[in-house]
Amino acid sequence: MRRPKNENRLDVAGLLAHGSLRGTTPLYLTPSSALIESVVLVSQLEAIRQVRPNTVVVLSAEMGSGGWLVSAALRHAWERRASAVVVAGSTYASAAVGLAQRLGITLLAADGDPAALALALAAEIGAALSVVDAELARVARTVAKDTTLGDVLKTISGELDGFGVSLEYDGVVLASTGMPPRETDEVITVEVGGANSAVRFTLTARVPVSGVHNLRLVRSILEVATPAVKAAWLLEDLLSTARAVPTAAIAGLDQDPAGSGAEFEEKHRHLLNQLGWREGELYVAVWFRGGRVQDHRPELTAVLRLLWRKVTLRSPLAEVEGGWLTLVPAGDQDTSTQLENRIRTRLGPALAELGLVAGLSRWQEDTPALASIVREARLAAESVRSTGPGTVLGFASLGVAAATGFVNMDAVALVAELSLPRLMTSPDRDVIMTAVAAFLDHRGSVSLAANFLNLHRNTLQARLNRARELGVPLDNPSELLSVHLIAHVLRRSMPDQANAPASTSDSSP
Amino acid sequence: MSTVLTTEDIRNLRTGAHFLTCTIDPTAIYIYAEMIQRAMEDRSLELITVDELAPDDLVVAVGMVTQGLFIADMPPVGDEFLGCIRAIEASLGRSVRAIYSLAAANINGIVPLMVGLQSSLPVIDSDPMGRVFPLISQTTLNIGNVPIGPIALMGVTGERAVVEVESPQRAETLVRALVTELGGWAATAMYPCSAQQLKEHGVHGSISRMIRIGQILNANTPVEKKLLMLAEFLGTTRIARARVSHIESLSRPTDLGLPAQPSSVTLDDETTGRIIRLEIQNEILLVLVDGAVTAAVPDMVTLLNSEQGTVVNIDDVQVGDVIDIVKITAAAQWYTEAGLDLTEPKAFGIPIGHPRRRHA
């Protein structure tokens, strides 16, 4: 690609030396030769206001050649970042040349008819463009041979001298190849529109600014390659969907929450065998889900599948009710831990961007039922929803604490509001509830709780008494769990948690 | 309110009339000023506002139309304007009640005072240009559809013509041809109209403005102070202080029958490096700063000596001079669509629209 790209690049110096500008007299030449991409023959000054950058502006002979005209033309051309201004041959005052120098724009005088020069230049630009067209056709044929998205991106990158090329969705890089991105790169983006035009997939090339590259050609190559990108991606997605059927089946068949995992396995043994699941193989289940249920975008499955390839290529990802599921073979605990870390490091930021969370099942040596590990992963995913997008959590580090993930915090807060009105309206509410929470966290020990809060025992005691005055039933064991839950919820909504020295996760009920 | 002018006013008026034209040889202005000052020794000269006249009083514009000949080269006999006024009165069958100047600068800014003294008619402090333009069709009365005719002309030999014409563009052609035949210049009386029409479509305060400019420039105050006062009074802006680097004449083709040869001056602003180009024909039509239009007719552009604050004549500009280029906004009527159609650079053969024209 490099050779033809440089050969097709027309510039002022080149065309002056051996091109259609050879017959002109340079009145002023800029130190660096400007790129030439088009030519316009103007007969009215106003027309220069519309020219594209890198255009040679040729003033027609009938416009005359007054110094003021050249001055105004130079100014307009400079504002439009034109490559050069060509005027009819004549004697020019040093002032016009001085202005060209001041504005840094090449000024040439045509010895013959400027219109003839414009025609010759247009022919030369057309010839160069036709070479470019042939080149683009070759690129299109090459990328059409690739069948995987990775290969298509690699081919595009190869055609672009190894520049970084990536497929992105809403700013999340789904797949990339070539040179790693640098901040100074010139970013060229082409939309990869789906059937739904609102979906923003883009094919992006990052071109180092140091090199002299024809950015329009880079864009053209991306545009030509876009259909191949789409085709390869759709094909892969189709294959993934087929491969994910056995995984989807497990989630789809497990509709009886009362039945144990083992019962499920017994009931569907034959079907599971037919689907390819073998007894005695160890898996870790991974469940992805959206932070909010209604936030479901149809294209997310395809997006997530591309992202999932950054973790593993072997386990297909299935779209299931309430999220996405995959089962990853994991022969030992280390493999399971590595998997969790890989998901966190390679997908965490992307999941956060997409508003998703992930939950993993525990690794267990005694070959747990597939339905059980799927349930674990789903529970883990559901219980971390409140922690915020991008969270990745294993059921192993959750245990019974998962239960609090299913408590409706808003409902508990409402219960507190209605049943403890005096406490809720009290100005010292936060201090009192911090004291109550610490007291209950430390199994009713005033000494331990006071120590934890860095308070004197009597101070804490006074606050607990104050809580009792405000109606908090601290002395009725059957109500303590509810009080603890309310304390837990209220403490979350406190503006400043500095008065609670320990983190809430340590002191969960 | 009518004002009786003094000889001091005439001295200031002379300076003001020169300031607002800047480019033209001021000899004729000086000759007229001197004649007026002599004549005022035994007569008084009354300057009135248009409001002081009855709405249907007949008023007429007086002014010189020249075609290649400097008035100083062949001075008038003295009865030319009176002859023109009589011809208008005869043509319309009514008496002229007051006169006004055809332009608010240069010789035509001062001529009506002489005519006023000769005819004992009051001079109205209004005009149809608010500045000076080379063509008699370039008036705010034309924008207001006030007929230009009948036009009375009287040349240096005493020959007289009355042109019965309504279209100002057609009048332009006829009058130019007649003036050439009458000897290079002619005293004229045109745009006879009612005081009401002048009030509605004229530019007002023209004579008093020239007097005020003269008062400022002739006062014994430092140059910088004078420039400040002018900026405050006229709303002038200084485009640049620059050194003349190049002068060329015949810089543009002329086939529009405009009564002067085009030329241009290039200047370098030595502090900023900007290159300034003035396009001239009778007056400064266009100012390009680094190729961008910074001022264009109908804006008035005048050149001042950067050290003395005096007006620089274009004819006296030499390479190496340091000059202040000052822009003065013209009367508001000129910036309307109809006003720009008559006076923007395109009307002078320069295919550039005025920057104030709305882009379609």
Measured between CA atoms, how close is A58 to chain B, in angstroms?
Answer: 17
Contact B53, B47 (CB under 8 A): no
State whether B155 and B279 are in the same domain: no
pLDDT of residue B252: 54
ipTM: 0.78
State whether A231 and A249 are in the same domain: no
Give contacts of B273 with chain A, Cβ < 8 Å.
102
Can you say how many angstroms the Cα of residue B70 is from the centroid of all Cα atoms in its chain? 15
A118 vs B260, residue with greater confidence: A118
State whether A267 and A347 are in the same domain: yes
Q: What is the distance in angstroms between the CA of the first residue and the CA of the last residue of chain B? A: 44
- Contact flag B286-A68 (C-beta cutoff 8 Å): yes
- Contact flag B275-A98 (C-beta cutoff 8 Å): yes
SS3 A239: helix
- Contact flag A46-B252 (C-beta cutoff 8 Å): no
Pair of tokens at residue A133: 């067209």
What digits encode the pLDDT tens for the residues A137-162? 888 888 888 888 888 888 888 888 88
SS3 B151: strand
Residue A104 DSSP label: T
When CB atoms are compared, the residue of B266, B273, B288 closest to A72 is B288
- Contact flag B275-A102 (C-beta cutoff 8 Å): yes
* Domain-located, residue B213: no
Measured between CA atoms, how close is B101 to chain A, in angstroms?
Answer: 33
- Candidate ranges A146-160, B319-333, B342-356; pick with highest mean pLDDT: B319-333
d(CA B3, CA A185): 75
Report residue A186's pLDDT band, with 50, 70 and 90 as the boundaries. confident
Label each residue of B76-111 as H, E or C: CCCCHHHHHHHHHHHHHCCCEEEEEECCCCHHHHHH
- To test the contact with chain A by mutation, choose from B254, B290, B344 the residue with the greatest count of A C-beta atoms within 10 A, namely B290
* Residue carrying structure tokens 């966290």: A441
- Contact flag A93-B273 (C-beta cutoff 8 Å): no
SS3 A37: coil
* Domain-located, residue A132: no
Tell me: pLDDT of B75 over 80: no
Average pLDDT score over residue span B60-82:
80
Closest CA to B33 of B296, B218, B158: B218
Pair of tokens at residue A215: 């950015």
Residues in CB range of A270: below 8 A, 6 or more apart: none
Burial code (b: 16+ CB inside 10 Å, e: under 16) for A189-220 equals ebebebeeeebebbbbbbbeeeeebbeebbeb
Give contacts of A46 with chain B, Cβ < 8 Å.
353
d(CA A380, CA B342): 81
A69 vs A291, residue with greater confidence: A69
d(CA A306, CA A242): 15
State whether A276 and A390 are in the same domain: yes
Measured between CA atoms, how close is A97 to chain B, in angstroms?
Answer: 11
Give contacts of A65 with chain B, Cβ < 8 Å.
none
* Domain-located, residue B357: no
Among A346, A379, A404, residue at a domain's last position: A404
Tell me: pLDDT of A100 over 70: yes
A273 vs B11, residue with greater confidence: B11
d(CA B129, CA B64): 14
Q: What is the distance in angstroms between the CA of the first residue and the CA of the last residue of chain A? A: 65
Nearest C-alpha in A relative to B279: A68
pLDDT of residue B288: 93
Using CA atoms, how far residue B166 sits from A56, A417, B5, B176, in Å, is: 49, 91, 34, 15
d(CA B172, CA B168): 6
CB count in 10 Å sphere of residue B105: 30
d(CA B257, CA B349): 10
Using CA atoms, how far residue A245 sits from A233, A309, B23, in Å, is: 19, 17, 91
Beta bridge partners, B279, equal: B264, B286
Closest CA to B339 of B116, B67, B137: B137
Give contacts of B264 with chain A, Cβ < 8 Å.
66-68
When CB atoms are compared, the residue of B253, B292, B352 closest to A64 is B253
State whether B293 and B229 are in the same domain: yes
- To test the contact with chain B by mutation, choose from A42, A45, A65, A68 the residue with the greatest count of B C-beta atoms within 10 A, namely A68
Contact A225, A203 (CB under 8 A): yes
Phi, psi of A406 (to 5 degrees): -100, 0
Q: Which domain holds residue B16?
A: 3-206
Measured between CA atoms, how close is A99 to chain B, in angstroms?
Answer: 6
Can you say how many angstroms the Cα of residue A95 is from the centroid of all Cα atoms in its chain? 54
pLDDT of residue A468: 86
Residue B163 maps to which CATH number?
Answer: 3.40.1610.10
- Contact flag A78-B291 (C-beta cutoff 8 Å): yes
Nearest C-alpha in A relative to B280: A68
d(CA A446, CA A240): 59
Tell me: pLDDT of A503 over 50: no
Average pLDDT score over residue span A236-241:
85
What digits encode the pLDDT tens for the residues B36-58? 888 888 888 889 999 999 999 99
DSSP string computed for B313-337: PGGG--TT-EEEEEEE---GGGGSH
The Cα angle at residue A304 between residues A300 and A306, in degrees rounded to 5: 125
Give contacts of A95 with chain B, Cβ < 8 Å.
245-246, 266, 275, 277
B128 vs A33, residue with greater confidence: B128
When CB atoms are compared, the residue of B266, B293, B352 closest to A93 is B266
- Contact flag A99-B351 (C-beta cutoff 8 Å): no
Residue A400 DSSP label: G
Average pLDDT score over residue span B204-209:
92
Label each residue of A190-210 as H, E or C: EECCCCCCCCCEEEEEEECCC
DSSP string computed for A54-103: TEEEEE-GGG---HHHHHHHHHHHHHTT-SEEEEESS---HHHHHHHHHH
Measured between CA atoms, how close is A78 to chain B, in angstroms?
Answer: 10
Among A404, A421, A438, residue at a domain's last position: A404
State whether B70 and B169 are in the same domain: yes
Among B145, B176, B206, residue at a domain's last position: B206
State whether A68 and A208 are in the same domain: no
State whether B42 and B190 are in the same domain: yes
pLDDT of residue B61: 94
* Domain-located, residue A48: yes
Nearest C-alpha in B relative to A103: B290
Q: Which of residues 53-72 of A touch B (CB under 8 A)?
A: 64, 66-68, 71-72
Tell me: pLDDT of A399 over 50: yes
Can you say how many angstroms the Cα of residue A35 is from the centroid of all Cα atoms in its chain? 34
- Contact flag A71-B288 (C-beta cutoff 8 Å): yes
* Domain-located, residue A507: no
pLDDT of residue A499: 46
pLDDT of residue A6: 46
Contact A194, A234 (CB under 8 A): no
Give contacts of B351 with chain A, Cβ < 8 Å.
44-45
Containing B4, the helix (H) or strand (E) segment is: strand B3-5
Lowest mean pLDDT among A65-79, A87-101, A159-173, B338-352: A87-101
- Candidate ranges A433-437, A468-472, B198-202; pick with highest mean pLDDT: B198-202
d(CA A508, CA A484): 9
Beta bridge partners, A187, equal: A206
The domain total for chain B is 2
pLDDT of residue B161: 93
Residues in CB range of A365: below 8 A, 6 or more apart: A282
* Sign of the four-CA dihedral A443, A444, A448, A449: positive
Tell me: pLDDT of A501 over 60: no
Contact A1, A160 (CB under 8 A): yes
* Domain-located, residue B353: no
Tell me: pLDDT of A262 over 70: yes
Q: Which domain holds residue A71?
A: 2-125
Residues in CB range of A446: below 8 A, 6 or more apart: A439, A457, A460, A461, A464
Above pLDDT 70, what percent of chain A?
88
- A44 close to B (CB below 8 A): yes
State whether B14 and B140 are in the same domain: yes
Lowest mean pLDDT among A236-250, B97-111, B258-272, B278-292: B258-272
d(CA B67, CA B136): 12
Report residue B256's pLDDT band, with 50, 70 and 90 as the boundaries. very low
- To test the contact with chain A by mutation, choose from B263, B288, B297, B348 the residue with the greatest count of A C-beta atoms within 10 A, namely B288
What digits encode the pLDDT tens for the residues A314-352? 888 888 888 888 888 888 888 888 888 888 888 888 888
Residue B271 maps to which CATH number?
Answer: 2.40.390.10
pLDDT of residue B70: 63
Pair of tokens at residue A242: 């087929």
* Domain-located, residue A506: no
How confident is the prediction for chain A on average, in pLDDT? 80
What digits encode the pLDDT tens for the residues A200-212? 788 888 887 765 5
The domain total for chain A is 4
- Contact flag A93-B252 (C-beta cutoff 8 Å): no
- B279 close to A (CB below 8 A): yes
Average pLDDT score over residue span A108-135:
86
Residues in CB range of A259: below 8 A, 6 or more apart: A267
* Domain-located, residue A131: no
State whether B277 and B182 are in the same domain: no
